[in-house]
Amino acid sequence: MSDTVLTGYRQSIDNIDAALVFMLAERFKITQAVGRYKAENELPPADPGREETQIARLRQLASDAQLDPEFSEKFLRFIIDEVIRHHEGFRG
């Protein structure tokens, strides 16, 4: 038996997942360029002040969007940690 309502929901979820993957790919392309720039200019791979500002900003956006701010912070922290790992790789 086919459930067209469920199928429609799943298609929308699949589209959103695809958009998230492409957006993350674009984000990482930019952060790779930032990492190279930092390495070339002898800047530290991490910027704790910016990280705190971004986390606070994302928590507020999440709250405004009725998304759990704790989840959004964990998600951003995961991304930030991965970006820093990449930036450290540019240092040699």
pLDDT per residue as tens digits for the range 51-88: 999 999 999 999 999 999 999 999 999 999 999 988 88
CA distance 36 to 46: 13
Give how many domains the chain has, as a whole number.
1
The CATH number for 34's domain is 1.20.59.10
For 33, other C-beta atoms within 10 Å of its C-beta total 10
Cα(84)–Cα(91) distance, integer angstroms: 11
Q: Which one-letter amino acid corresponds to residue 32? A: Q
As a whole number of angstroms, the distance between CA 34 and CA 23 comes to: 17
Identify the pLDDT of residue 89: 85
Beta-carbon contacts of residue 84 (< 8 Å; ≥ 6 apart): 45, 46
Write out the two tokens for 14. Answer: 């699949």
| Domain with 58 in it | 4-89
